[in-house]
Amino acid sequence: MVVDTCKYLINNEIPKSSPIHDPLVTSIFVLYGRPFKQKRIRLPEQIIPSDFTQLHKLLLDMRDKLYAHTDLDDYFSINGTQFGSLTGYTKHGNTQFGITIFTPELPQVIQMVEALQHICDLRARNIWNKYMAKESISDGAYTVNMDTVEGSFLKPHALPGGWGKIDTKE
């Protein structure tokens, strides 16, 4: 979803003044941080390619201090510029107030996330080949059982009637 959101912002040339810009940028930070912030199972920091360690740290720091946990009593600063602070924007004598946000270099975010997806896909494929390659699996959507208790490795998705449908990407 992070790559899709970045590409949407780029391809549609969404200006910072658009009402959808800030929510899309916020989603990039929140969605990127999710696999590194889970309580039970997290991606290890060691999988971050060295070329992207600074960008990775920036995205997680800003997620934690600005996007997922905004606190107007505190702010996040980069090179003296405050983000997350109450800011007045004046144009033609009219001042509007808002929160200063930061948009990362989206092409770099895309490169980093695609590199991480490749690493994770390789690791997942290795686990699959080791433990599940000989299994016969019916077509469908499944949740991977990450519990430490016994049970099937794959659990079929099931939603109560009328709640919607499971969307999958192939």
Task: Identify residue 40 by its one-letter amino acid code.
Answer: R
Phi and psi angles of residue 142, each rounded to the nearest 5 degrees, phi first: -135, 150
The answer, yes or no, to whether residue 154 has pLDDT greater than 90, is: no
89-103, 105-119, 131-145: which has the highest mean pLDDT?
Answer: 105-119
Please tell me the predicted confidence (pLDDT) of residue 169. 59
With bands split at pLDDT 50, 70 and 90, how would you rate the model's confidence at 74?
low
How far apart are the C-alpha atoms of 170 and 159, rounded to whole Å? 20
Overall average pLDDT of the 155-164 stretch: 68
Output the pTM of the full model. 0.77
> How far is the C-alpha of 154 from the C-alpha of 141, rounded, in Å?
9
User: pLDDT for 141-151, tens place per residue?
Assistant: 788 777 766 77
pLDDT on residue 73: 59
* Nearest in space to 25 (alpha carbons), one of 57, 65, 62: 62
Higher pLDDT, 98 or 163: 98
Question: What pLDDT, on the 0 to 100 scale, is given for residue 28?
Answer: 97
pLDDT of residue 166: 60
Q: What tens digit of pLDDT does each residue of 3-57 get? A: 999 999 999 999 988 999 999 999 999 999 999 988 777 888 899 999 999 999 9
At 160 the pLDDT is 62
pLDDT at 130 over 90: no
- Cβ atoms of residues 56 and 48 within 8 Å: yes
Mean pLDDT score across all residues of the chain: 84
